[in-house]
Every structure is written in C-alpha cells, then in structure tokens.
Amino acid sequence: MMNTVIESAETTKSEFAEETPFKRFTRNFFSSKIATAGFITLCLIVLAAIFASVIAPQNPYDLTQIDIMDSRLAPGGQNIDHTLTYLLGTDEQGRDMLSAILYGVRISIIVGVVSTAIALLIGLTLGLFAAYFGGRVESLIMRAADIQLSFPPILVALILLALMGPGTSKIVIALVAVQWAYYARTARSAALVERKKEYIEAASGLGLSPLRIVFRHLLPNCLPPLIVIAALQVASAISLEATLSFLGLGLSVTEPSLGLLIANGFDYMLSGKYWISVFPGIALLVTVVAINLVADQLRDVLNPRLQTQ
C-alpha cells in the first residue's frame, strides 16, 4: 500500500485536543490542595488591598477621622460614643488597626510587585542578551551581576537609601537594584540551555533576526524559572521593605507599610499593648506564606522534568 497516508486527528491523543499550554498549566496547578488554598488566600489579600478604601472602617491617614482619645484601645474596644468598634484595637495615634493593616497591605504589595516586575524586566533582558551574544557583552553583564550579588541585600539597600533619601520611589529603586542580578543570572543560565537547542538553530538557519530569536524564541522558553523566582521574590521584596521600614529608612509615616506599622507598635510590646505590632506582623506573615505556597506550586508545575513531553 504505497498511497500517501493522511494522518487524521483521531490517531493523536484525543484527550488533548486544542489544549493550550495555559490550560494544561492551570490543570496541573490546582491539583494541589495546599497550593489552591494559598492561591485563594492570596486572592483575598489582593482584593482586600485593592478595595481597602472601600472596606476599611476608616481611613487611618485622614486626620479628621481619627481621635487621639481612642488611642491604644484593646481589640474589640469602642470609642467614646460607641459608634465604632475597633476590631483589632487602635495604635498610639488612635488609628484603627484593621484599617491601618488593610492600607498597609496595599502599600506592601504594590511596592513588592512593582519592584519585582521592574527588576524582572531589567534582569531578564540583560540575561538574555548576555546568553545570546556571549563574549564581552556577557562578561560585562555577568561580572556586574556577580558584584551585585556578593553584597548582602540589606546593606546595599541601606546605602542606596542613605544616599537617595526616603520615599516610595526611592524604595522601589533600591529594591530593584538589589534584585535585578538574581534574574539576570537565572535568565542567562536558562537561555544558555535553550540556545543550544535545535529550534534556535533552526530559527537562525531560517534567517530570522537575532532580536526576533531572542524575544520570540528564547524568552518564552526561559520564562518559567523566572516566573517562579519572581513569585518568591515578591514575598522577599515585601519582607525586605518591611525590614527597611522597621529600621526607619523606608516609606514615610503618611503611607506606612506593614513594616512601619510593626515598627511603630514595637515600643508598646512590653507594656502589654501587643496588638499594635502583632496584628500587622500576622498580616505580613500570612501574605508572605500565601505567596510562597503559590510560588512553590508554580515551581513544581513549571519544572520541565516533571512535564510530560
């Protein structure tokens, strides 16, 4: 039978008809209960942060809304008129802790995500170029990254903030400066592996421009390990920013992140007014853990060795 055989769709795995890589990914991701729980928690936190101004009982940074007479009330305490119940207590200024935490989570997440995103962009581009072009370009970029990584992140952040002064944008710059190298290095090693694969050679043989090869072929295939790192790094950035704020070098008092809230309440720990520090601390912990659970599952799902070919 020498006729040409048209292989029909039925002979290929019918259970995977039209399944995009994304659908396959979501199917694998939600197969773990813990990760799903982490994801839901994270979604709730993010939603709370976005709608903070709507759900919070008061805007804690609007001076007209707070009353110094209500300061340092225990959780469940009420104001003089009994019109407001402070579910999580108040701080030394009379601000409602619940509202402060909601606003604080918003700041923390925004700072964490923005700095991670910028660092990812910069690190990814530099890493891809280093891998694709090799030679001097690679040496330059990688040595800069090595130098960056040999300093403790806190130290670098502190020095930069000392030079630049406080402020939200400065914090973001400091966080980016501390993180980019990690992405560059990972992007480069992922790209080095991918670059040797035959589909890159094929693209080259087909006369496609280097820019196209880097962004259309290398980049999407180097992204998985970077997404995992980025997810973990958001948590790490949030923690780092909290530390900086705790040390007083972070954001300004008018827009306190969770770190600053913790710092503020620290003095009151010994006198028994734990809620001013502890509740923001718990909020920070839950956020970081939720992010880590999601990131861990991402890493397992995106691991090429566990993927079926």
Partner 1 sequence: MTEPVPHLQPLLELRNVSKRFTQPLDAIATVANFFGAKKTAEVVHAVDQVSITIHAGEVVGLVGESGCGKSTLGRMVVGLHTLSSGTRWWKGTDLAAFSVAQSLQQQLAMQMIFQDPYASLNPRMRILDIVSEAPVAHGMIPAAQQKEYVAQLLQKVNLDPALARRFPHQFSGGQRARIGIARALAVNPELLVCDEAVAALDVSIQAQVLNLFIKLRDELNLTYLFISHDLGVVRHLSDRVVIMYLGRIVESSPTAELFARPNHPYTIALLASAPKLEVKKIEFYAVKGEIPSPLHPPSGCHFHPRCPHALPRCSVEQPLLEEIAPQHFSACHLNDVAP
Partner 2 sequence: MTMTKIVPTLTVQNLQMHFSARDGIVKAVEDVSFSVAPGQIMGLVGESGSGKSMTAYSIMGLIDPPGKIVGGKILLKDQDLRDLSPQAMRRIRGNRIAMIFQDPMMTLNPVLRIDTQMIEAVLAHQKVSKGEAREMARDALVRVGIASPDERLIAYPHQFSGGMRQRVAIAIALLNKPDLIICDEPTTALDVTIQGQILYEMQKLCRESGTALIWITHDLSVIAGLADAVCVMYAGKIVESGTVQDVLGQPQHPYTYGLIASSPSRNLPGQPLRQIAGMTPSLLNLPSGCAFRTRCERATSVCENTPPISTDGARTLRCFHPMQDAIKLVAEANHD
Coil, helix or strand for 198?
Answer: helix
Q: Does 135 bind partner 1 (CB under 8 A)?
A: no
Q: Does 8 bind partner 1 (CB under 8 A)?
A: yes
Partner residues linked to 96 by β-bridges = 90
Residue 17 CB, nearest distance to partner 2 (Å)? 13
Q: Does 1 bind partner 2 (CB under 8 A)?
A: yes
Q: How far apart are the first and last CA of the chain?
A: 32
Binding mask 269-308 for partner 1 (x = CB under 8 A): ---------------------------------------x
What does the CA dihedral 56, 62, 63, 69 come to, rounded to 10 degrees?
0
Residue 59: DSSP 8-state: -
Residues that contact partner 2, how many (by CB under 8 A) = 8
Q: Does 4 bind partner 1 (CB under 8 A)?
A: yes
* Residue whose CB is less far from partner 2, 9 or 80: 9
What residue 15 binds from partner 1, partner 2, none (CB within 5 to 8 A, per partner kind)? partner 2
What residues numbered 195-234 form the site for partner 1, per CB under 8 A? 197-199, 201-209, 212, 216-217, 220-221
- Rounded-to-integer distance, Cα 268 and Cα 247, Å: 16
Coil, helix or strand for 77?
Answer: strand
Residue 5 CB, nearest distance to partner 1 (Å)? 6
Q: Which of 13, 33, 136, 305 binds partner 1 (CB under 8 A)?
A: 13
Q: Does 136 bind partner 1 (CB under 8 A)?
A: no
Q: Does 11 bind partner 2 (CB under 8 A)?
A: yes
* Residue whose CB is less far from partner 1, 25 or 29: 25
Contacts 24+ apart (CB under 8 A), 120-124: 120/183, 120/226, 120/230, 122/176, 122/180, 122/183, 122/184, 123/179, 123/180, 123/181, 123/182, 123/183, 123/184, 123/185, 123/186, 123/187, 123/226, 124/183, 124/184, 124/187, 124/219, 124/222, 124/226
Question: What residues line the site for partner 1 (CB under 8 A)?
Answer: 4-9, 12-13, 16, 18-21, 197-199, 201-209, 212, 216-217, 220-221, 308-309
